[in-house]
Structure 1
Amino acid sequence: MTNLATNLTTTAAEHADKDALRVNGQGVTYRQLHAMAAKVAGTLRERGVEPGDRVAVILPNVPAFPVVYWGILLAGGVVVPMNPLLKSGEIDFFFTNSGAKFAFVWPDFVGEATKGAQNSGTVVVETGPMGPNDFEGGEPISEPTPRDDDDTAIILYTSGTTGRPKGAELTHSNIHLNALRSAQVIQTMTSDDIVMGCLPLFHVFGLVVGLNAATISGASLALIPRFDPAAAVEVIEKERVTIMQGVPTMYAAILNHPSSDGMDASSLRTCASGGSAMPLEVMKAFEEKFGCVILEGYGLSETSPVASFNMPDRERKPGTIGVAIPGCEMRCVDLDGNEVPTGEVGEIAIRGDNVMKGYWQNPEATAEAIPDGWFRTGDLATMDDEGYFTIVDRKKDMILRGGMNVYPREVEEVVYQHPDVLEVAVVGMPDDLLGEQVGAAVALREGSTATPEDIVAFTKERIAAYKYPRKVWVVETLPKGPTGKILRREVHAPAE
């Protein structure tokens, strides 16, 4: 196994007329997907993209995403998937840091991306539902450009709890093996399966466990451009979806949507959940209502992503994240990296063929994250005597809003740009639908006139929509430690 795109060429040869993608009742076969990707690869090469060059993708879940994803890989390039909701300042950092030569961008986001590309010189290519517009030239590249197992295939940016996001470098081997295990061990996926593609493809869960696993298996991926419970119900029924993957908020949204009451979910066999802890009530109610099984697992961008899962062939323990998958070892360690006794709380450390190569051009952060060959996750958990892990809390103050990571520090940096703000602490607030919501406690400068609504509006303009605080409250002062550092853990939202 060298280039990850070999999975596409193999499946396109074996299942040429099988639908690779389904969207709005229309199909794109593996033969068509391969041909379109080969054209993209040829044009990229013609325009100077060499093996190892980075190319960004800023697209929703439309057929164009797999087309350009496989096209970049066929040309030997490195894919840099980005959230379409990012603003120009954030895009500028991603483009500049990765050195992306091109970016395939959905029409609605071209303006923001073009602003964000001014410093990096990244060429923005407007991309419609089926592929890039006005992007022609070069001989199609239908055979994958040779790459080594350890060459970088994807750079996934994870927001930093301190400062700037870091790019996790995932290799061709990382992704291939994780997708293979996701397909075979966890979901027992075959070419007869219809997989629900409601997770964003720019996110590691949707990209690897969805798109890559489906491609390896010759399964069809039924895409929803943006998650919406009514659309999800319709797709499950119409496409006869057999495998669903989602974050807990998606399962809750489908469960509680009126149109799901009469839903024919008889085709649904396996559901995989990750991204945050699945509330047991939601799990039980979903399984009862739709007659399927939800398997819960755990992973991170840095672990390609899957590290542990409740396996179909083993006892399922609801409330746990299961056991380590093949090729991966997990343990709970103390601050010195020593394993803690069974049942005691420690930080999850991971070693195996799913662990990233490192952070892109950031050896210090890599050394800190993987000090001894074991990747430190920052998540606290216990392990029972059968090897099942239960997450206790996040070591860091990350807020998980609807399965999307929001890092308080990043939001605080933006709030601090408001001229009236003296101090701010961003914290997570419990939310029935999204798990957590973003809140901010703000101390204002003397004589200032800003209202909480002003600060919400100010932040909303400058940061991705899922990150800005939905609730801001004004305080006299923020709690601080002996060194004057704001103690985020002691900040709590007012009761109303």
Structure 2
Amino acid sequence: MASWRGFRWIERFGRQHERDPPQPRAIALDFFGARTSYAELAVRVDRFAAGVQALGMAPGDRLGLFLPNCPQYAVAYYGALKAGLVVVNFSPLYSAQELVAQVEDSGVRTMVCLDAAALYPTIAAVLDSSPLERLIIGSIADELPEPKATLFRLLRRRERTPFRRDAAHVPFGRLLEPGSPRPHAIDPERDIALIQYTGGTTGRPKGALLTHQNLTANARQGLAVDPDPRVVDRVLAALPFFHVFANSAVLNVTLMRGSEIVILPRFDTAQALAAIRRRKVTAIPGVPTMFAALADHPDAAAMDWSGLRLCVSGGAPMPVELAARFERLTGVRISEGYGLTETSG
């Protein structure tokens, strides 16, 4: 297992074709039908790492992610880690006041966000009222397949907000121009990879400092408890990536396995059922309210659940009756997990 220490497994993104049997176009991400192969993800991760280095960011600098679930999250997250940066997750549900407090506490000076009307005005206010110095701004439309991308730009323009064109506003695409990151040494047991804020039970949220080894050890453990860890899964990603549960159980475990992440920006029952049908999803990590919503949907009884093999619930106690009802519906028993943010989830 020594070769998996730290985040050296990022280097494997472009080599999924070496699996047995060979998978020359193994899919890493699916976003409403737009698919990113492991080889393509490896290129984007490298370019983003080179891009943040070109902005003057150095190992140990903090990069904030103020994002819903989207392909840009995975690219920025792994690109930052490859550049030796420390990722800091920010909840898109936070108010400007809460964001300012976390910016000041974490030392973040550069933030990745979207031009979404639900997000950009809030983070723009933070830029003007905190130590934050720069925004890297992407768009959901850039990640959608055609014709969805064109229709999104034409019909949902009100959901996007124009942003200023100055040194404090950097288009996400600029960081994906061709380039290779400068190599640097990472001590996986000492170097911080992620600052994950947790509310605990009292007081303001506090940042848990997680090393590269913390994250990869947790992912290895996730694979170790799987009864069939060699299965190439298609994992529904409706849990928020900015939370430690999805960060570990969806992002890190799935990509370490070489499986596919089926991304939804947020949990919507109809969209989740559509994604399960479209991609024949095999694994669903979730919280009890998600499983209840899926089981209660009028289309659930007519669904073909035969491809589903694994369901994991966390975040809250799973009611016994709900677990039994979901198992009767799908034939899959829900496994319940418990983890602390301070231990990578």
TM range (shorter): 0.7 to 0.9
The separation in 2 between residues aligned to 1:262 and 1:4, in whole angstroms, is: 44
User: Cα offset for 1:106?
Assistant: 1.7
Is the Cα contact below 8 Å between 2:69 and 2:240 reproduced in 1?
Answer: yes
Superposed counterparts of 1:25-174, under 5 Å:
25-108=33-116, 109-117=119-127, 118-129=129-140, 130=143, 132-135=172-175, 139-141=179-181, 146-174=186-214
User: Cα offset for 1:8?
Assistant: 2.2
User: Cα offset for 1:54?
Assistant: 0.8
Match of 1:219 in 2: 259
Match of 2:15 in 1: 13
Is the Cα contact below 8 Å between 2:16 and 2:38 reproduced in 1?
Answer: no
- Greater share of residues in strand: 1
Match of 2:323 in 1: 283
The separation in 2 between residues aligned to 1:6 and 1:247, in whole angstroms, is: 30
Is the Cα contact below 8 Å between 1:158 and 1:166 reproduced in 2?
Answer: yes
Is the Cα contact below 8 Å between 1:148 and 1:172 reproduced in 2?
Answer: yes
User: Cα offset for 1:144?
Assistant: 7.0
Q: What code does the residue aligned with 1:139 have?
A: G
Structure 1 residues 297 and 74 mapped into 2: Cα distance closer, same or farther (>3 Å)?
same
Is the Cα contact below 8 Å between 1:101 and 1:121 reproduced in 2?
Answer: yes
In our comparison, the structure showing a higher alpha carbon Rg is 1
User: Cα offset for 1:140?
Assistant: 2.3
Give the TM-score of the pair, scaled to structure 1. 0.59
Could you tell me which runs of 5 or more consecutive residues in structure 1 were left unpaired when the two chains were aligned.
306-496
Give the TM-score of the pair, scaled to structure 2. 0.83
Is the Cα contact below 8 Å between 1:157 and 1:168 reproduced in 2?
Answer: yes
Could you tell me which runs of 5 or more consecutive residues in structure 2 were left unpaired when the two chains were aligned.
18-23, 144-170
Q: What code does the residue aligned with 1:202 have?
A: F
Within the alignment, does 1:258 sit opposite 2:295 as a pair?
no
Matched residue of 2:325: which SS?
helix
Q: What code does the residue aligned with 1:207 have?
A: N
Is the Cα contact below 8 Å between 1:74 and 1:145 reproduced in 2?
Answer: no
The separation in 2 between residues aligned to 1:3 and 1:47, in whole angstroms, is: 28
Q: What code does the residue aligned with 1:68 have?
A: A
> Which 4+ runs in 1 deviate beyond 3 A?
1-5, 133-139, 142-145, 186-191
Matched residue of 1:59: which SS?
coil
Identical positions, percent: 34
- Number of residue-to-residue matches in the alignment: 305
The separation in 2 between residues aligned to 1:196 and 1:42, in whole angstroms, is: 30
CA offsets, 1:248-307, max 9 Å, x none?
Answer: 1100000001121211110000101111100111100000111112111101211211xx
CA offsets, 1:322-378, max 9 Å, x none?
Answer: xxxxxxxxxxxxxxxxxxxxxxxxxxxxxxxxxxxxxxxxxxxxxxxxxxxxxxxxx
Superposed counterparts of 1:287-436, under 5 Å:
287-305=327-345
Q: Which has the higher contact order (CA 8 A, sep 6+)?
A: 2
The separation in 1 between residues aligned to 2:182 and 2:27, in whole angstroms, is: 19
Match of 1:179 in 2: 219
User: Cα offset for 1:4?
Assistant: 4.2
Superposed counterparts of 1:476-491, under 5 Å:
none
RMSD: 2.0
